[in-house]
């Protein structure tokens, strides 16, 4: 994808094109790469999303706002944003990473979105980064406005156990299989009291943990 198409989708024209190139460069390609920009972008994203939620939902408690923010900045959401930007075609990857499908890997794409946000900040300042984040997230904010704030399964399970003064669950990977860009994970969720073990599968460890937690919660409530 042409970089002009990407910058148009972001709504930001880079004065320093080197920052854009660095944001799109994975460590497998060499140095400089996007890891430091990702660090900046991660912090900015959390800050800007927190401010936006605070302003949009004046009646929500801190816990609800925190859950909403967690949903908006998690890897799955960033991956969706990267796909909507067709970001995979613009990434610079090492030959081995490219052959293994790295330009489709959710973690690499999510990291690149954060790196882009960091690059926009260094190029144009906080307001520029805030504007890009608002542009990317507007459809997601609209979706949240139309529906209730929901808790993920891991959070719900933890709160269920804490409310009954029970030990928290433990998660561990049973198996990870498949090529790098299409891996499948199987994760176990183990609860000490009451004794319970469930498993879940997913395309990422986080999704597999959520599936296992959902099964555990349903079993406990049955």
Whether 42 is catalytic is yes
Catalytic residue among 38, 111, 114, 214: 114
Displacement of CA 4 from its chain's centroid (Å): 25
Whether 95 is catalytic is no
The two structure tokens encoding residue 61 = 């408690």
Catalytic residue among 42, 97, 111, 214: 42
- Give the pLDDT confidence score for residue 146 in this predicted structure: 46
Could you list the mean pLDDT of each consecutive 10-residue stretch along the chain, which spans 222 residues? 83 94 92 94 96 90 87 87 88 87 86 96 96 89 59 83 90 82 83 92 83 92 84
Domains of the chain and CATH, by start: 3-145 (1.10.1520.10), 153-221 (3.30.160.20)
Helices 126-145/62-73 angle, 10° precision: 110
| pTM > 0.85: yes or no | no
- Give the pLDDT confidence score for residue 185 in this predicted structure: 86
């Amino acid at each position: 994808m042409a970089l002009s198409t990407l910058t148009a989708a972001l709504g930001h024209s880079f004065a320093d094109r080197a920052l854009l190139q660095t944001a799109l460069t994975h460590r497998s390609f060499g140095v400089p790469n996007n890891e430091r920009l990702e660090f900046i972008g991660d912090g900015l994203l959390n800050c800007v999303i927190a401010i936006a939620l605070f302003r949009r939902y004046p009646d929500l408690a801190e816990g609800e706002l925190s859950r909403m923010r967690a949903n908006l900045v998690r890897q799955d959401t960033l991956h969706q944003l990267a796909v909507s930007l067709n970001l995979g075609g613009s990434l610079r990857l090492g030959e081995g990473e490219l052959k293994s499908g790295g330009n489709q890997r959710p973690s690499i794409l999510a990291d690149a979105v954060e790196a882009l946000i960091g690059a926009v900040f260094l190029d144009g300042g906080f307001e520029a980064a805030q504007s890009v984040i608002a542009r990317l997230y507007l459809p997601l904010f609209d979706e949240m406005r139309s529906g209730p704030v929901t808790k993920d399964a891991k959070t719900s399970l933890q709160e269920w156990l804490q409310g009954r003064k029970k030990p928290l669950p433990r998660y561990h990977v049973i198996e990870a299989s498949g090529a790098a860009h299409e891996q499948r994970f199987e994760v176990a969720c183990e609860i000490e009291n009451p004794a319970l073990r469930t498993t879940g599968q997913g395309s990422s460890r986080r999704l597999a943990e959520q599936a296992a937690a959902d099964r555990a919660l349903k079993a406990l409530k049955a």
